[in-house]
Amino acid sequence: MGVNAVTDVSSAASLGPGTPLVVAVDGGGSKTDAVALSLDGHVVALRRGAGSSPHFDGLERAAATVRGLVADVAGDAAVVQADLYLSGLDLDVEIDEFRGAIAGAEWAGPSTVIANDLFALLRAGTDEADAVVVVCGTGVNAAGVRGDGRIVRFPSLGALSGDWGGGSGLGAEALWHAARDVDGRGPHTWLTGAIVESLGLDSLQQLIEDVHFGRRSESSLADLAPLVFEAARRGDAVGTVLVQRQADEIVAFARACLTRLELTGHAVPVVLGGGIVASGEPMLLDAVREDIAAVAPLARIELVDAPPIVGAGLLALERAGAGPDALARARAELAVLHSVE
């Protein structure tokens, strides 16, 4: 399903004004998914639009994207619950600002949930009350929850808040090491030639200048992340160190959540998602499993194979009072629809 694609399973418009529906949104830097579901768990409409991360798109643009998508999937139906999970909503002030930006929408109200998209990913992976989620995609972030209501979150502001990794971090480090290889300050790495070849460049200097002068965005360096894993598989020392560093960062997030929530001795799921994790790289995942086991022997790794919009939809239905059958139906229908993307 591409950007601006819409899947009308029945059609919100055909249900008539006042038909009760729940709406859920999962928004990131490059795309936003919105779904309308009947209270018995049937998918009414599913739409994908442009990104809606306030960090990347700005508050007003992100809010406008979400308002438009909700209007598309809900039509004239009565939205009894709306759950919005967006990348970039890491601080309470950011959540409050976004709530203000959608306040004029007919479907927005006191019950509207606005939270980081981590929580949609978490629910897509597990329904257990005590759990941890770590996402490793373009960047890295995490959250932990306990059944007593305690929550662990992180500012997720990059280097300012102690973060490193994901595609952006791995790509930037790959370029850093390659640059030092070229000028003699660092060891030789297979990455140097691989970067030049993969991007069709004449030299590494061309890439450095392209980024410096704005001809190529720094965020595009995330495209180099797969080369880091290939380098590690080839036995390249730099690639191996970077993969281990990424594993260490994932484990550090999980350890912090488990420790702060006092769950290191409990059998809790540690849900992992995001593009880097989804690559299934054994060297990365084996290291993560081993190191988390050392911290929390009873914890288990759960790799999410469902898109976060599944979790967002389930959370919205739960808050609207849906039962187990409706939740199972919604998960199954959303999984089928996203399998044909």
pLDDT in tens, 178-222: 999 999 999 999 999 999 999 999 999 999 999 999 999 998 999
Name all domains of the chain by residue range, CATH numbers in brackets. 6-116+306-338 (3.30.420.40), 127-304 (3.30.420.40)
3-state secondary structure of 243: helix
* d(C-alpha 223, C-alpha 175), whole Å: 11
Q: What is the pTM of this model?
A: 0.90
Strand ranges inside the chain, DSSP E: 6-8, 20-27, 32-38, 43-49, 78-86, 113-116, 131-136, 140-145, 151-152, 269-273, 300-303
| Band of residue 3 on the pLDDT scale cut at 50, 70, 90 | very low
Does the pLDDT value for residue 13 go beyond 80? no
* d(C-alpha 317, C-alpha 181), whole Å: 54
Of the candidates 246, 341, 311, 339, which has an alpha carbon nearest to the alpha carbon of residue 37? 311
Q: Sign (positive/negative) of CA torsion 199, 139, 170, 48?
A: negative
* d(C-alpha 126, C-alpha 165), whole Å: 24
pLDDT in tens, 25-70: 999 988 999 999 999 999 999 999 999 999 888 999 999 999 999 9
Q: Sign (positive/negative) of CA torsion 46, 48, 53, 54?
A: negative
- Cα within 13 Å of Cα(2), Cβ side: 0
* d(C-alpha 36, C-alpha 27), whole Å: 15
